[in-house]
Amino acid sequence: MALLDVIDLVVEFPTRRGTLRALDGISFSIEPGEILGVVGESGAGKSLTGSAIIGLLEPPGRVASGQIQFEGSRIDRLSPAQMRPIRGRQIGAIFQDPLTTLDPLMSVGRQLVETMQTHLKLSDRDARARAVQWLEEVGIPAAAERVEAYPHQFSGGMRQRVVIALALCAEPKLVIADEPTTALDVSIQSQIISLLKRLTESHGTSVMLVTHDMGVIAETCDRVAVMYAGRIAEIGPVADVVRTPSHPYTEGLMGSIPSLEARVERLRQIDGAMPRLGAIPQGCAFNPRCGRTIARCFTHRPDLMPAGATQAACWLVGGGAA
């Protein structure tokens, strides 16, 4: 049984000028211990998927239909009180900007202790000892002394390590890492990613890694989901998606990655921009930017279809050309 099952998830934002569909029928699953990467342009719905899973959609956003199942039971219809023991304990979260995700007025040790004591039966002393352990584990030097330190006394990279410790300290089975390195210095990014990978591996934690960075995906993830305009364009094992992309959008994404081996004058880019939520064209949402459209692309919207080792939402792979 999969750890997390997202089934036909639809997230909508009611606005004054009608309802906007930000996620339109997303389905995927995450196995225990697996790292699923989620990529896509800004506004494709990556972070929103994460927020929906952890039940922290910003109002007025809401899950309009579909299901989110964690270990086989639905968690998308739970009350805040029922959801609270799941957050942190079963599903942890890491956010983008470590400079703003920590409470500036509370020492990192107390934030760790508070989080662990919320979910685990721990005495003050044990919780403190564990807090120091966690800081050591995420690579904070002199953890025993720095447990009393406040967030502003840490650098950005160190703060993200603290955030990771906080997300993992109640030993959740799944961590949603929402662009955990975007706000960090390039030189720190790979350290943080490898730390995350190492820790989740040793604790057997599954990860949903939301990122812009295909390089990170290729190095870190087991499978990857490519999102476009609120839908999954392609999903499958990383090696297959990276080497033999089936969806023209994925191809475009791969083409935009600079390579160290092949010298190219100019990186390929995908022309145009992703449509706004209110103006998604009929048929395939990617059709205005796609170089290989057929008639059907403008009339019918493709669902995910098997395409070799991956699944892609494209008529070209699903026999639509026939």
Binding site for other proteins (CB under 8 A): 54, 56, 80, 84-89, 92-93, 95, 97, 100-107, 114-115, 118-119, 150, 152-153, 163, 166-167, 170
Gap between the Cα atoms of 233 and 305, Å rounded: 10
User: How far is CA 273 from each of CA 148, 255, 269, rounded to the nearest angstrom?
Assistant: 47, 16, 11
Pick the closer one to other proteins by CB: 96 or 246. Answer: 96
In our burial notation (b when 16+ CB lie closer than 10 A, e otherwise), range 229-258 reads: bbbbbbbbebebbbeebbbbbbbbbbeeee
> Minimum CB separation from other proteins for residue 17, in Å?
22
Minimal CA–CA distance to 7: which of 43, 49, 51? 49
Give me the amino acid identity at 264: V
Pick the closer one to other proteins by CB: 167 or 242. Answer: 167
Q: Is the dihedral of CA 318, 211, 74, 20 positive or negative?
A: negative
Helix (H) or strand (E) holding 225: strand 223-228
Pick the closer one to other proteins by CB: 22 or 163. Answer: 163
Paired sense of beta strands 174-178 and 91-94, if any: parallel
> Minimum CB separation from other proteins for residue 60, in Å?
11
- Two tokens, residue 44: 């494709």
> Minimum CB separation from other proteins for residue 276, in Å?
24
Pick the closer one to other proteins by CB: 49 or 311. Answer: 49
> Minimum CB separation from other proteins for residue 179, in Å?
13
Pick the closer one to other proteins by CB: 153 or 259. Answer: 153
Q: Any residues with CB less than 8 A from the CB of 272 and at least 6 apart, and which?
A: 288, 289
Pick the closer one to other proteins by CB: 170 or 226. Answer: 170
Gap between the Cα atoms of 248 and 226, Å rounded: 11
Beta strand segments in 44-146, E? 62-70, 73-74, 91-94
Helix (H) or strand (E) holding 253: helix 248-255
> Minimum CB separation from other proteins for residue 88, in Å?
3
> Minimum CB separation from other proteins for residue 181, in Å?
16
Pick the closer one to other proteins by CB: 152 or 292. Answer: 152
> Minimum CB separation from other proteins for residue 143, in Å?
18
